[in-house]
Amino acid sequence: MRTGPAILKSLTGFIICGFFLAINITTSADIIYVSTCGNDSWSGTDPCCQAPDGPKATIQAALDAAADYDTVIIAAGTYTGTGNRDIDASGRSITIRSADPNNLDIVADTIIDCQGTQSNNHRAFLCATEQKTNFTLAGLTIINNYSNGGVCYSINEFDTGSTVAIDKCVFKYSTGSAVYLMSIYSHNGWEVSVSNCTFQNNVAAAGAAIYLWGGALIKNCLFSGNVSTADSDMAGGGAIFGWNTGAGFLPVIKNCTFTGNQAVRGGAMAFAKAACVYLWNCILWNDKATNVGNEAYFSSFLGPPVCTVEYCDVKGGESGIYISYINWVEGNIDADPCFDLPGYWMDDPCNPGQEIWMEGDYHLFPFSPCIDVADPSYIPDPCETDIDGQPRILYDRMDIGADEVFPIAGDTEPDEDVDLADLAVFAGHILSDCDAPLWCDNCDADRSGKVTIEDFAHFSAHFLKGAQ
Ligand SMILES: [Ca+2]
Ligand SMILES: [Ca+2]
Ligand SMILES: [Ca+2]
């Protein structure tokens, strides 16, 4: 039994971590503010909307006023029109973020609406090609891109030390890939990262969420309801499409959740000329391909692909992935991940014979089979979180997918362990009627409205988790 609430210890660590990050942000560079109440003639150094130093009105004006390694902070609001789309950040080493990327409500309320259409294409950030840069985008919601790359970036072999990081962003309603990344000559790809992001309801010919050249690290992200339309051996992937360029340029996709994505080939993802792709601790569930590879497709075009799958939950197991050769390593499961509210396919009333995805909530249920079965050797990066900003490892092991569950079934107090104290709480609720949001202190694990023997089975399955 633990002597104190371990979750508090975990969260305290994150608060301290965030505190030092905040210090780093405020002391290492100047800040230029942007607000919907701003004015581009003001200097942008004061967040309060008043002359002469109040915030800029447009993100482009803030970028133009910033020096390398400055931070542009965008206040909550919806940003549209010239200066707030097709933003040219080329070659700039800069961080562009919302007021608090760790606050999901602020992220949801800090919106770049590209307002792109078929006849009037617009993206959020212009492609920057072959520029040395350290570019970070954090905590923004980007919608209605209509271009190949709502956020578009490229780094090359001469750009040693360059980084592109997209963190805690939400991408929705993009036509054309929401993110287009070219890291064709980057060194093993880890300079390019997409983390803690949500991609939903984007459409493209290939890779509606991310179109990738070369390597990248994609982690703790959710991909749902993304659709790619091209019917080709060199396209596909409802969420991700990638070209791999050779050994050393490894796309690593870890702790991501894919569900309800659709393509002709590779419902969740497709790769062509696949030198190597590494899927680690991911959920690929209920994605759909109209031709082949419901979950993933690895084309043999231009060379035999290799894919390593380790500690993943894949619908259909190996048969859910189309590939000529696969490293199907230990720890993989084929089990319903038990989402809080599973999405589902239904007939598209506008296109008979087609199906569309009805979105759900992809947090894991407190007794999901994905709980505590990810790679036990995994060591999170400092300050790494799940997609909710919760600690990346809770209880005994990390969970498969983007979500780390707290509390799990049986942890009724809850304090990150399941022990005799939890049993006492459970006993007090047996046969009680329950309702949201507390569900009898989480004793009604299956949310049936009553604490029953089925709930006790879930309690028993988790007994002593986190308590040793
Ligand atoms: Ca866990
Ligand atoms: Ca979580
Ligand atoms: Ca407990």
Q: 179 C-alpha vs ligand 1 centroid, how far in Å?
A: 30
Under DSSP, the state recorded for 333 is: B
Task: Give the C-alpha separation, 249 to 266, whole Å.
Answer: 21
> Over the chain, what is the mean pLDDT?
88
Ion ligand 3: residues, Cβ under 5 Å: 411, 413, 415, 417, 422
Query: Averaged over 111-131, what is the pLDDT?
Result: 88
Percent of the chain with pLDDT over 90: 71
HSE-up (13 A, CA, CB side) for residue 31: 18
Query: Averaged over 356-375, what is the pLDDT?
Result: 96
Q: 397 C-alpha vs ligand 1 centroid, how far in Å?
A: 5
Give yes or no for residue 16 having a pLDDT over 80.
no
Ion ligand 1: residues, Cβ under 5 Å: 372, 394-395, 399
Cβ neighbours of 466 (radius 10 Å): 22
Ligand with minimal distance to 374 CA: 1
403 and 388 Cβ atoms separated by less than 8 Å: yes
- For residue range 155-183, list pLDDT tens digits in order: 665 566 778 899 999 999 999 999 998 87
Query: Averaged over 47-58, what is the pLDDT?
Result: 97
Q: 403 C-alpha vs ligand 2 centroid, how far in Å?
A: 4
Residue 15's pLDDT band, with cuts at 50, 70 and 90, is very low
Enclosing H/E stretch for 28: helix 6-28
- Tell me the C-alpha to C-alpha distance, in Å, between residue 230 and each of 17, 211, 238, 258, 270: 44, 13, 10, 19, 12
Q: 448 C-alpha vs ligand 3 centroid, how far in Å?
A: 21
Ligand with minimal distance to 362 CA: 2
- Token pair 């503010």 in the structure block, residue: 33
Helix (H, G, I), strand (E, B) or coil at 122: strand
302 and 272 Cβ atoms separated by less than 8 Å: yes
Q: What is the pLDDT of residue 343?
A: 96
Task: Give the C-alpha separation, 227 to 400, whole Å.
Answer: 24
Find, among 180, 342, 184, the residue nearest to 250 by Cα: 184
Give yes or no for residue 226 having a pLDDT over 80.
yes
Residue 133's pLDDT band, with cuts at 50, 70 and 90, is confident
Task: Give the C-alpha separation, 468 to 466, whole Å.
Answer: 6
Helix (H, G, I), strand (E, B) or coil at 440: helix
Residue 1's pLDDT band, with cuts at 50, 70 and 90, is very low
Q: What is the pLDDT of residue 323?
A: 82
- Token pair 């919907």 in the structure block, residue: 36
Residue 189's pLDDT band, with cuts at 50, 70 and 90, is very low
Q: 403 C-alpha vs ligand 1 centroid, how far in Å?
A: 9
Give yes or no for residue 275 having a pLDDT over 70.
no
- Give the lowest-confidence range in 224-238, 268-282, 377-391: 268-282
Ion ligand 2: residues, Cβ under 5 Å: 386, 388, 390, 403-404
Residue 303's pLDDT band, with cuts at 50, 70 and 90, is low
Residue 74's pLDDT band, with cuts at 50, 70 and 90, is very high
Q: What is the pLDDT of residue 13?
A: 46
- Tell me the C-alpha to C-alpha distance, in Å, between residue 349 and each of 30, 93, 346, 353, 385: 52, 47, 9, 9, 39
